Amino acid sequence: MEVELSRHAKRQMKWRKITAEEIKEVVMDPEFKENCMYGRKNAYRKIGGRSLKVTYKYDREKLVIITAVVKGR
C-alpha cells in the first residue's frame, strides 16, 4: 500500500525529529488506536523513550499520514 505524507506531517516530522520509520512502526503496530473525526484514526506507541501519536486515514488505495506529534512534553 502506498503511503503519502501530508505537507503538515512532513513539517511536524522535521520540527519534532520523527523519522518515517517511526511513523510506519506506530501505524503498523500501535500500542493503542482510536477513531476520531472525519474517518481518521490516531495511533499511539512509545519509541525510544518518546510517546508518539500519528493521525492518519485511508484514502482509496493509499494511507495518508496527516500529522505526527510527540506526546507528554
In the chain, domain spans: 2-71
27 pairs with which residues across the strands? none
pTM of the model: 0.91
Report the pLDDT value the prediction gives residue 73, as an integer from 0 to 100.
57
pLDDT > 60? residue 54? yes
Q: What secondary structure letter does DSSP report for 22?
A: H
Cβ-based neighbours of 44, under 8 Å, separated by 6 or more:
26, 30, 31, 32, 33, 51, 52, 53, 54, 71
Please say if the pLDDT value at position 56 is more than 60. yes
What are the tens digits of pLDDT across the range 26-51? 999 999 999 999 999 999 999 989 99
Q: What percent of the chain has pLDDT over 70?
A: 99
Report the topology of domain 2-71: YaeB-like fold (3.30.2310)
| Alpha-carbon span 10 to 18, nearest angstrom | 9
